[in-house]
Amino acid sequence: MTLEDFTAKLNSSTFWKEFTYSETKFSPRPKQQVELADGIVLIGSLAYVFQLKERTGATEDPDAERKWFRNKVLGKATKQIRDTLGYLSAHESIQLTNTQGHSLEVRGAELSDIKKVIVFSATDALPRDCRETQFYVSDTAGFMHVIAAQDYLGVLDTLRVPNDIRLYFEYRESVLPRLREAGTVVEEPDIMVAFLSELDLPVPGARERLRGFVQDLEAFDLRSILGDLLAHIQNPDPNHDYYRILLEFARSSRSVWREFKLRLVKSLDACKAGNPCRPFRFTIPDNDCTFMIAPLDPDWPSTGSDGERMRINALVMFTEAAKYAAKSTKGVGLLVSKDGDYICLDWCLLDYRWEKDARIENLLATTELFRDVKERMVDSFFFRGD
């Protein structure tokens, strides 16, 4: 598998097919075709632009490998990143097709955060000073991440959640120049430990602490649902509105996924057992978004035309009420129901400014629709022994 294939597969499984672009050729003018980047990830106003450099024709000569690194990684790749930024600036929009097969218009003016990432695959003969090169600063394009392919895999495999990966690269960008100025050399796992531990700066040799990192996939991982969401939509909207639901999860950290999955599992258990259960809700103030998860009341119809109407009405009502009670701008709702031996998941997203509504006020005042809520801090990452 080539580095391009490896990275494309890794990105599409982590950032989902909807946000990943591995084929980025476009025509800036008739009869001319250029490549925007080796890979792109677009999550709302956030973009990752990738350049990938894989060593072919390798030697055992450290000087020859250093020359390759300087020419291809620090030379050609950084220039190509600058070209990418130039294309995005020069063209009002560029049409690309994502890994899901959907064509979308990419508008550089709408990208407020562009992370530049150079991933390289070298041989064992690459000198240490090259391997310790973890970033490059361009006068025109700014900070560029330089990271070995196995380290990039390690970052995605450890963090799993798109927003945590964004925060990691922001942390990486903030600490590496300070470490260089101090003459401190760290490896990628040292940076990861410092990020997970919320340290001001990474410490050399800290990588051993990763052995104690708690990777509680069962508690938080939603990728089996979100990563293939389109396949479970019976009547997909041609405008791909479900992207907006994915976007809210992509903007949320592991702690949010964990809280969502906890309530999802409780809803699934209630639904399978045929037990009535009040809707669950929680709000993320930083994202101005409330999440609502509920099992359909077992006494309500769930199948046929009546059942479909009931599910839609219940989903919207519960989500609208949860959003209103929290005074959020956005609300993501999930309704769990049963159809024989099958489980049905109905989703919705509401997005509009909060305004006083007498109808919802009355609903909340005259029913015990939700449990009481309380504010608390939730951590994303844990280590054994903490």
Percentage of the residues of the chain whose pLDDT score is greater than 70: 98
pLDDT tens by residue, 45-57: 999 999 999 999 8
In angstroms, rounded to a whole number, what is the distance separating the alpha carbons of residues 16 and 247? Answer: 10
Residue range 196-248, pLDDT digits in tens: 999 999 999 999 999 999 999 999 999 988 987 877 665 666 667 899 999 99
Residue 58 is predicted with a pLDDT of 80
**Mean pLDDT, rounded, for 160-184:** 98
- Check: CB of residue 176 under 8 Å from CB of residue 145: no
Q: What does the pLDDT read at residue 165?
A: 98
Longest dimension (CA), the chain: 78
Q: What does the pLDDT read at residue 238?
A: 61
Contacts of residues 55-59 at CB distance under 8 Å and 24 or more positions apart, as own/partner, are: 55/120, 55/121, 55/122, 55/123, 55/126, 58/122, 58/123, 58/125, 59/123, 59/125
What is the rounded CA–CA span in Å between residue 365 and residue 368? 8
Q: Average of pLDDT values for 315-319?
A: 96
DSSP secondary structure string for all residues of 329-368: SEEEEEEEEEETTEEEEEEEEEE------HHHHHHHHHS-
109-141: pLDDT as tens digits: 999 999 999 999 999 999 999 999 999 999 999
- Residue-wise pLDDT for 234-264, tens only, equals 566 666 789 999 999 999 999 999 999 999 9
**Residues forming beta bridges with residue 94, ordered by sequence position:** 106
Residue 67: is its pLDDT beyond 70?
A: yes
Give CA 131 to chain center in angstroms: 27
Nearest-5° angle of CA 37, CA 41, CA 46? 110
CA distances from 274 to 4, 292, 298, 307 (A): 48, 20, 6, 16
Q: Which two tokens stand for residue 96?
A: 């690309």
User: Taking all residues of the chain, what is their mean pLDDT, rounded to a whole number?
Assistant: 94
